[in-house]
């Protein structure tokens, strides 16, 4: 007959309150998005006797508003999960937009319009990958902190983009590109469809591939990843290239939508891209985050921005609202980590 040690601690029981708190924490972005939509819907019905959420034009506008920040945030998600940050994506996007416009103008009329678009797109993506390679080498090989390395590349990409654009915007006149940027397919803007496809690919890469597993491992513990045989340097370089390429696609779609490339195309979207990742539940300390959360975060920002315009609030309040949401999200993340640490110490 075996005896049970009397000093063995009893297994912890998960209370209903703990389960509910955990559910609210994991679903906080979805809950907040729901509150925003309901709030703007009530405001629209009370103040204007119309609908906010059930107007197809509003839904399409919110989706288009989401495209820019989300494209930057997709690559940023990988970087943040790994424990880094990429401050250069805003002007990497602008650099890609300018290069795309310049090459497109040179090739349109010489090449078949769709082929001119493809050539310009490939060159723009190659140009956008260069900041990512340099960021990765600085951080992985020279051990420069990601904040400093990518901030320096922010300035370099900014200067080169303005030099290539000669300080102005670069208009284009390719009908295929204009069609992609401003028309719809099955009542959905083509730029939104492209973003959805890219999002699905990024989601699969992060959640199902070995590379995605390595990203989480590096963010959880760099030293443990090295001991596990993960090539941290190579994966870090790949992360920043991926972030730059996502920004490059954002620059191409920006040019298609506005029929002009601009060096400052992504400058106002940098904060939004980081905000979308953080609001979506990713930790700035690394090791956690999802593409689904980033999509919800980007939608929250777009709903705030479009919703405030819809209810006739001064647009400058958008910055205040997004800033407050970022602070709240970081505080929630900090509190969650402190509570988790306190439970593990008990």
**Number of domains within the chain:** 1
Could you tell me how far CA 203 lies from the centroid of its own chain?
12
> Please, which residues bridge with residue 188 across strands?
185
Question: What pLDDT digit, counting tens, does each position of 46-61 carry?
Answer: 988 889 888 899 999 9
Q: How far is CA 226 from CA 142, 216, 235, 251, 285, in A?
A: 17, 13, 11, 35, 18
In-domain check, residue 308? yes
What is the per-residue pLDDT for 17? Answer: 63
In-domain check, residue 9? no
Sign of the Cα torsion 34, 36, 39, 42 reads negative
Residues in the chain: 346
In-domain check, residue 34? no
Show the beta-strand stretches assigned E in the chain: 170-171, 184-185, 188-189, 260-261
In-domain check, residue 96? yes
Q: Which domain holds residue 257?
A: 39-336
In-domain check, residue 87? yes
Instruction: Output the domain CATH number for residue 292.
Output: 1.10.3470
**What span, in angstroms and rounded, lies between the C-alpha atoms of 143 and 232?**
12
Q: Which two tokens stand for residue 313?
A: 């609030």
Helix (H) or strand (E) holding 227: helix 222-227
Give me the residues of the chain with pLDDT under 50, please.
1-4, 6, 8, 344
**What span, in angstroms and rounded, lies between the C-alpha atoms of 62 and 70?**
12
In-domain check, residue 258? yes
* Residue whose structure tokens are 């090459």: 103
Q: How confident is the prediction for the chain on average, in pLDDT? A: 87
What is the per-residue pLDDT for 1? Answer: 47
Q: Which two tokens stand for residue 191?
A: 């730029």
In-domain check, residue 8? no
What is the per-residue pLDDT for 70? Answer: 95
């Amino acid at each position: 007959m075996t005896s049970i040690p009397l000093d063995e601690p009893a297994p912890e029981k998960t209370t209903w309150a703990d389960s509910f708190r955990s559910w609210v924490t994991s679903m906080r972005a979805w809950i907040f998005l729901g509150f925003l939509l309901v709030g703007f819907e009530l405001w629209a019905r009370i103040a204007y006797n119309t609908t906010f959420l059930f107007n197809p034009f509003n839904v399409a506008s919110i989706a288009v508003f989401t495209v820019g920040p989300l494209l930057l945030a997709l690559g940023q998600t990988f970087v943040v999960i790994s424990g880094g940050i990429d401050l250069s994506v805003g002007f990497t996007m602008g650099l890609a937009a300018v290069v795309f416009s310049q090459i497109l103008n040179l090739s349109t009329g010489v090449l078949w319009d769709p082929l001119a678009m493809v050539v310009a797109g490939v060159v723009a993506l190659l140009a956008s990958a260069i900041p990512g390679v340099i960021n990765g080498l600085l951080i992985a090989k020279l051990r420069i902190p990601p904040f400093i390395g990518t901030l320096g590349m922010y300035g370099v990409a900014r200067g080169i983009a303005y030099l290539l654009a000669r300080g102005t915007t670069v208009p284009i006149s390719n009908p295929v590109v204009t069609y992609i940027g401003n028309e719809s397919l099955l009542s959905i803007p083509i730029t939104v469809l492209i973003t959805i496809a890219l999002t699905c690919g990024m989601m699969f890469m992060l959640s199902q591939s070995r590379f995605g597993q390595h990203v989480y491992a590096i963010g959880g513990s760099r030293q443990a990843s090295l001991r596990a045989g993960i090539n941290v340097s190579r994966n870090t370089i790949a992360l920043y290239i991926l972030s730059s390429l996502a920004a490059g696609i954002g620059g191409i779609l920006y040019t298609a939508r506005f029929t002009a490339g601009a060096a400052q195309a992504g400058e106002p979207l940098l904060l939004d891209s980081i905000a979308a990742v953080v609001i979506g539940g990713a930790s700035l300390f690394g090791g956690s985050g999802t593409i689904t959360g980033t999509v919800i975060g980007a939608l929250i920002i777009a709903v705030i921005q479009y919703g405030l315009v819809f209810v006739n609030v001064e647009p400058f309040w958008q910055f205040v609202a997004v800033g407050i949401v970022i602070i709240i999200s970081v505080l929630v993340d900090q509190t969650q980590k402190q509570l988790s640490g306190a439970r593990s110490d008990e």
